[in-house]
A = this chain, B = another copy of it.
Amino acid sequence: MHIKALILAGGSGTRFWPKSTQEKPKQFLKITSNELTMIQETFQRIQKLVPKENIFIVTNKNHSHHIFEQLSISKDNVIFEAMAKNTAAAIALGISKFKNDDLAIVLPSDHYIQDVDEYVKTLKVAADFALKNEAIVTLGIKPKSAETGYGYIEVKKNSLSKSDTPGVIRVKRFHEKPNLETAYSYVESGNFFWNSGMFIFKVSTMWNAFKKYMPDLYKAFEKLRKIHDLKDISNVYPSLDSISIDYGVMEKADNIFVIPSDFGWSDVGSWDAVFELSQKDENGNYSSSKRALFRDSKNCAVFADNKTVAIAHLDDIIVVVNDEKILVIKRGTTQDVKKISEEF
Contacts and interface: CB of A to CB of B under 8 A. Distances in A.
Contacts of A317: 314, 317, 328
Contacts of A340: 293, 295, 310, 312
Interface in A260-317: 291, 293, 295, 304, 306-314, 317
A118 B314 CA distance: 40
Given A293-B340, A340-B293, A326 B312 contact: no
A313 B330 CA distance: 6
Given A295-B336, A313-B333, A326 B343 contact: no
A67 to B, nearest CB: 28
A84 interface: no
B313 A336 contact: yes
Max count, chain B CB within 10 A of own CB: residue among A326, A330, A337, A340:
A326
A187 B242 CA distance: 71
B325 A312 contact: no
Contacts of A321: 326
A116 interface: no
B308 A328 contact: no
A309 B328 contact: yes
A314 B326 contact: no
Contacts of A328: 309-312, 314, 317, 319, 328
Contacts of A293: 340, 343-344
